[in-house]
Structure 1
Amino acid sequence: MRSDLERIRDIQEAINNIEKYAIQGKAEFFANELIQSWILLQLQIIGEAARSMAAATHKQYPKIIWRDIIDFRNLLVHEYFRVDLKIIWQIIEQEIPILKKQINLILKEE
């Protein structure tokens, strides 16, 4: 069984994987189904890692929007037909950098 710290590292790795391809820009993201699929998979990994952590870990780091991350994972996995690529791109631009900073701070503490 993976520890919460390992799951936090999984989130960090998924963020790095998103950044590898998002750096190609918005136009490439919308044009390339492989990049879209790759990034959606990484977002699912982030959500699954968050879902699998103990509630105590979530309480320990309340600035992270754990519930939203988990709910979004559920949408990606179970209601994929509702996925809006414009919203995904907003998440990449706006939410991922914030989450990256928060995760890096946690890992610095450890």
Structure 2
Amino acid sequence: MYIILTSKLGEYDARPGQGILPVESYEYFFYDKKKADFTIAEVSGEQGRVSIVESGEDGRTNSVPLKFFEHFDTVEAARAELEQLVTFGSIETRLERTSLR
């Protein structure tokens, strides 16, 4: 099973917990300005959690259970969902694959 983690620049960072292994990472650009990072991660159990860490000195951390994330059977299905998420007709957007961080 796979999930998509989203980190939005200057707002929050999604960090995988135990049993969640990142397999691919992408940068999302909107009119040549980087807006977010997406990570496709493999889930090895159903009890894992993702930490959502707010940006800034006083940023809070929220621990979110996997049941709140859409699940995909294959990495290909997760990639297809990412493409659909960032496509807005003629609006200029793109995904660039990056190395895992």
Give TM-score scaled by structure 2 length: 0.27
Higher strand share: 2
TM-score by length of 1: 0.26
Higher helix share: 1
